[in-house]
Amino acid sequence: MSSFWNEQRVVVTGGAGFLGSFVVEQLRAKGCRDIFVPRSKDYDLVQMDAVQQLYRDYAPDMVIHLAARVGGIGANQANPGKFFYDNLMMGAQLIEVGRQRGLKKFVALGTICAYPKFAPIPFKENDIWNGYPEETNAPYGLAKKMMLVQSQAYREQYGFNSIVLFPVNLYGPRDNFDLETSHVIPALIRKCAAAHEAGRPSLTLWGDGSPTREFLYVEDAAEGLLLAAERCEGSLPVNLGTGEEVMIRDLAVMIAEETGFTGQIEWDRTKPNGQPRRCLDVSRAKEAFGFQARHHLREGLKKTVQWFQANRKTLREVHF
């Protein structure tokens, strides 16, 4: 095991959230003894004075920035201004104060929503600026993409050491299963499970089922992020994913099977589909820091459904 983490003082923003909880667990398993997870009630990272206080209180060697205002299509449509402003200010201020205080490394998590709506498949990092993002989540995607601009500008002018990773949609145990704000997999799991338990003959889902998506199991995402934090240098964007895409209608069938729902799946074509296709070129991550996802989609879905069924009474929900 590498000794890299043994003496690192690490702040993990969003460390009590979905991905963050797995990142903190893996940090501890790797020997990191000095981890601080700021909570929003104590440090509102949208406010500059709170960001400055965080750095004063903890004096980290590394910041892993996972905190975000994020949700599915519905949440993005309802909160475009809030998603833009809050995500922009958190990233910009954490990087700026980190620069001022001589932070050794800043690790930022971007989003696949930053890619152009009609980027060629698979999405290559060099195509990230070749068009406007899909409209329903563009404010969120662009706010997160500004961390890449800042990372590159600060490295050029100040020598500030930061990296920005662009993951596909994450899923797994401890996800947000609130139907108003969740992403597609937890929403489908909850809807299919409820339809099965109620004995409904059919289930109606948004769109027409034709878009494709790529999904990364949360434990794999945490592993990739920490490999990058340890080994990746330079401010080029780096994709995190599996390189495998699935059509939403096929995903719905898989989740129905895992939850026991045997009714008809119908599609409400008056609702938006979102981006037509999403699939990443993941070669840069493999070359730069040796990351390759371990979980295939069906295996990850099975684990996620099992966790959901066992934790129905304590599900994490997010409201804006």
Name the DSSP letter for residue 188: H
| Residue-level pLDDT at 180 | 80
Say whether pLDDT at 2 is over 90: no
Q: Determine contact, residues 80/143, Cβ cutoff 8 Å.
A: no
DSSP state of 176: B
Provide the mean pLDDT of the chain. Answer: 95
pLDDT value at residue 73: 76
Greatest extent of the chain over all pairs of C-alpha atoms, in Å:
62
Categorize the per-residue pLDDT at 201 as very low, low, confident or very high, splitting at 50, 70 and 90.
very high
In the predicted model, is pLDDT for residue 297 greater than 90? Answer: yes
The pLDDT confidence band at residue 320, using thresholds 50, 70 and 90, is: very low
pLDDT single digits (tens) 164-180? 999 999 999 999 998 88
Give the pLDDT confidence score for residue 316 in this predicted structure. Answer: 67
Instruction: List all residues 6 or more positions away from 251 whose beta carbon is below 8 Å from its beta carbon.
Output: 184, 185, 188, 213, 297
pLDDT of residue 302: 98
pLDDT attached to residue 149: 98
Under 8 Å between Cβ of 92 and 106? no
Q: Of the residues 55, 58, 115, 140, which is catalytic?
A: 140
| Beta strands 105-109; 162-167: pairing state | parallel
**Does residue 161 have a pLDDT over 90?**
yes
- Whole-number pLDDT of residue 1: 61
pLDDT reading at 30 higher than 60:
yes
> pLDDT class for 287, splitting at 50, 70, 90?
very high
Residue 193, both tokens: 């499970």
Q: What is the pLDDT of residues 66-104, one digit of tens each?
A: 999 877 778 888 999 999 999 999 999 999 999 999 999
Q: Domain spans of the chain?
A: 9-314
> DSSP letter string over 34-93?
EEE---TTT--TTSHHHHHHHHHHH--SEEEE-------HHHHHH-HHHHHHHHHHHHHH
pLDDT-above-70 percentage for the chain: 98
Could you give the count of Cα atoms lying within 13 Å of 119 in the half-sphere of its Cβ?
Answer: 26
Structural contact between residues 164 and 235, judged by C-beta atoms closer than 8 angstroms? yes
pLDDT in tens, 43-72: 999 999 999 999 999 999 999 999 998 777
CB 132 within 8 A of CB 147: no
Please give the structure tokens belonging to residue 101.
């205080």
Q: Which residues neighbour 259 within 8 Å (Cβ) at sequence distance 6 or greater?
A: 189, 192, 193, 196, 305
Asked if CATH classification 3.40.50.720 holds for the domain at 9-314, the reply, yes or no, is yes
pLDDT in tens, 7-25: 999 999 999 999 999 999 9
Active site residue 154: no
Report d(CA 83, CA 67) in Å as an integer: 12
Mean predicted confidence (pLDDT) in 309-320: 75
- In whole angstroms, what is the distance from residue 293 CA to residue 29 CA? 19
Place of tokens 């702040």: 11
Residue 230 scores a pLDDT above 60: yes
Alpha carbons 256 and 221: distance in angstroms, whole number:
25
